[in-house]
Structure 1
Amino acid sequence: MVLYNQAIFTESPHADPRPDNTDVSLLVIHNISLPPSQFGTPGIRELFTGTLNPDEHPFYKEIAGLRVSAHCVIYRTGEVEQFVPFDQRAWHAGLSSFQGKSRCNDFSIGIELEGTDTLPFTDAQYHALGELTDFITKRYPRITLGRIVGHNDIAPGRKTDPGEAFDWARYRMRISQA
């Protein structure tokens, strides 16, 4: 079980083994907030652990029953919570394709940033994302700069995250210096 030692681990039931002989070679950056545009709530954890109460918020009724997860979430504070070990398949990408290869969940790691497409992410999040990326790329050397993408890149027209507020230049500068 490959875990990030700087993260709190909360196991998600929304994961399974990767296909045999899978080469983990893609890192996908997402954003999420539950309820939408609200931060610091237990909604993300509840969604990823299958415990979201649809009566807690009107939006939760729309997503009740979703079975999704990510490997890690980076909260606004910079705290990292891991839901799926990196050697397992998290259910974060959905219908997706990268360089002609579909089913990105099979060969990718998904990182969620607590946020929205349009609100700036925090310094603490960029710092934590850089550290986490260093950890991941050391263990999975096929994940190079060109194989770190947004959800929008692997599901164009369907997804928009991490969104216009995500500073790719800032992030790439940090990881290229590691």
Structure 2
Amino acid sequence: MNDSSWQQGWWCGARRAFSPNFSPRAPGEAVSLVVLHNISLPPFEYGSSAVEQLFTNRIDPDAHPFFSVIHELRVSSHFLITRAGEAVQFVSCDDMAYHAGVSSFQGREKCNAFSVGIELEGCDFEPFTDAQYRTLLPLLADLAQHYPITAVTGHQDIAPGRKTDPGHFFDWDTIEAAGLPVVR
């Protein structure tokens, strides 16, 4: 894919599921960072629609005990990549998704303001799938071609002590081998 892969911040390689949990970026704010995360809902379970429901404020608090704890969260990410490799986009990359929380990258606070968040369906305790990497690599390449990306990093690196994702099973060597600017 190339620059024509984008329509107003929406990547053509992803299915859209619109989240209300975003804000416009500040005027002139450039997207320069990609933050990689992992998520599974219920925890350590895959294949449900719960992540999409969480990011679109439709999660049923009665469907699982954990959901009663998180159902009032107003969070989002730009992308989710499922275990099967499907990319789902919730927020235009031209807008700010609520994925990083309290964070800092190279001395700059509030990473949501200048980053794109990509959630990988998974957890800290097992490897991600080949299908996920087959989707992630072209997405990262297209992001780097369309936006002035200077770094790809993990949530664990911008919120150390608070976050541990994407975890030690994430294959950073594959990202570096693709020529992407990994900073950890």
Task: Give the TM-score, by structure 2 length.
Answer: 0.92
- How far residue 16 of structure 1 moved from its aligned partner, in angstroms, is 1.2
- How far residue 151 of structure 1 moved from its aligned partner, in angstroms, is 0.2
Q: Which runs of 5+ in 2 are unaligned?
A: 1-7
- How far residue 174 of structure 1 moved from its aligned partner, in angstroms, is 2.5
Which 4+ runs in 1 deviate beyond 3 A?
A: none
Write the letter of the residue equivalent to 2:163: K
Structure 2 residue 14 is matched with structure 1 residue 10: no
State the partner residue of 1:97. Answer: 104
For residue 60 of structure 2, the aligned residue among 45, 48, 53 is: 53
- How far residue 175 of structure 1 moved from its aligned partner, in angstroms, is 3.8
State the partner residue of 2:167. Answer: 163
Q: Secondary structure at the match of 1:132?
A: helix
- How far residue 48 of structure 1 moved from its aligned partner, in angstroms, is 0.2
Give RMSD over aligned pairs.
Answer: 0.9
For residue 38 of structure 2, the aligned residue among 26, 31, 44 is: 31
Deviation by residue 1:55-106 (Cα, 9 ceiling, x = unmatched): 0001111112001000000000111000001000000000001111101000
For residue 112 of structure 1, the aligned residue among 103, 119, 122 is: 119
Q: Hey, what's the Cα distance between the residues in 1 that align with 2:97 and 2:37?
A: 13
Q: Hey, what's the Cα distance between the residues in 1 that align with 2:47 and 2:178?
A: 26
Write the letter of the residue equivalent to 1:148: V
Native 8 Å contact 2:78 2:92 kept in 1 = yes
Q: Which runs of 5+ in 1 are unaligned?
A: none
Q: Hey, what's the Cα distance between the residues in 1 that align with 2:43 and 2:176?
A: 27
- How far residue 171 of structure 1 moved from its aligned partner, in angstroms, is 2.2
Q: Hey, what's the Cα distance between the residues in 2 that align with 1:129 and 1:175?
A: 13
Q: Hey, what's the Cα distance between the residues in 2 that align with 1:13 and 1:101?
A: 26
Q: Secondary structure at the match of 2:88?
A: strand
State the partner residue of 2:154. Answer: 150
Q: Secondary structure at the match of 2:10?
A: coil
Aligned residues: 173
Write the letter of the residue equivalent to 2:25: R
Q: Hey, what's the Cα distance between the residues in 1 that align with 2:177 and 2:66?
A: 36
Native 8 Å contact 1:133 1:175 kept in 2 = no
Write the letter of the residue equivalent to 2:141: D
State the partner residue of 2:144. Answer: 137
Native 8 Å contact 1:130 1:175 kept in 2 = no
Identity score, percent: 51
